[in-house]
Amino acid sequence: MITFPNAKINLGLNITEKRPDGYHNLETVFYPVPIEDALEIHVQNNCQLPAANGQVQKFSLHQAGLEITGNAADNLVVKAYLMLDKVFDLPPVDIHLYKHIPSGAGLGGGSSDAAFMLKLLNKRFELGLTTEKLEEYAAALGADCAFFINNMPTYAEGIGNLFSPITLSLKDYQILLVKPDIFVSTREAFSLIKPHKPEYSLKETIALPVSEWKERLVNDFEASVFPQYPAIGEIKDELYQKGAIYAAMSGSGSSVFGLFAPGTPLPEADFGKESFVFKGKMI
């Protein structure tokens, strides 16, 4: 069985408070974008694979496409499998993951893979998990992971895990997204932030026409990430120069997206051969 985990972008991201547990309270709008990995599971009926420590391992992970740092055991799709295996004693599986979504991009690729793995296992093995229960499992795997269970435009607050649906459609807008060859660590990006209350209400701003977002919709990570990596800020400037109606960094970076008017041709631009570039229509 195969599924296609998609990426997200953040529309506005206000980091409002540092919490006693070290995490930060924030508010943001998550919006799905059609950049997709491919994730497949095959049930291995009688095959349990010996692991390095001599114990039986019930999964094997085959990866292709873009590289992911870390061991197989650290991969969020494996963590998602092991989480449900603990409760449901699942059959052994072969996992095939083809990465198109760049990592360290603020696109939530790892979180999406994990959430889609939970949904895939739920369906394949008829586990009967409700959306709420799937969100609960997902939240334990990453702050933004639960968003990908419903995968609809969402206002998020708390540590990015308390959701309310919003009415927002960017369908027919076009997106040009650039991820330079720069890895921004989410943890480090948070450590450089001075939390503060936003000047404009995010919920009110997002209800305005996209053409009014430029002056009001802010990603607080830009203030700390752009001085450290000026090349990322330059991409945002270039997207505006090329006619974007709204441009911003997504999450903690390093990808930057521009939204362009429906029906207009997307500009040609050279962001260097090391950059990942996606052009498409919003969903």
Ligand X SMILES: C[C@@](CO)(OP(=O)(O)O)[C@H](O)COP(=O)(O)OP(=O)(O)OC[C@H]1O[C@@H](n2ccc(N)nc2=O)[C@H](O)[C@@H]1O
Which sequence positions are flagged as catalytic?
8, 144
Q: Is 111 in the site for ligand X (CB under 6 A)?
A: yes
Q: Is 26 in the site for ligand X (CB under 6 A)?
A: yes
Beta-strand relationship, 59-65 and 93-99: parallel
Of 172 and 188, which CB lies nearer to ligand ADP in the complex structure?
A: 188
Residue closest to ligand ADP when measured from CB atoms: 110
Of 91 and 158, which CB lies nearer to ligand X in the complex structure?
A: 158
Q: Is residue 70 annotated as involved in ligand binding?
A: no
What distance in Å separates the CA atoms of residue 165 and residue 222, rounded to the nearest whole number? 25
Helix (H) or strand (E) holding 87: helix 76-88
Neighbouring CB atoms inside 10 A of 223's CB total: 13
143 binds, among ligand X, ligand ADP, none (CB under 5 to 8 A by kind): ligand X
- Residue from the set 27, 37, 113, 144 that interacts with ligand X by CB under 6 A: 144
Instruction: Identify the CA nearest to 142 among candidates 58, 62, 64, 77.
Output: 77
Of 74 and 172, which CB lies nearer to ligand X in the complex structure?
A: 74
Helix (H) or strand (E) holding 237: helix 230-241
What's phi and psi for 282, nearest 5 deg? Answer: -70, 160
Interface residue list for ligand X (CB under 6 A): 10, 13, 23-24, 26, 28, 106, 108, 111, 142-145, 159-160, 186-187, 190, 251-252
Provide the annotated binding site for ATP. 102-112
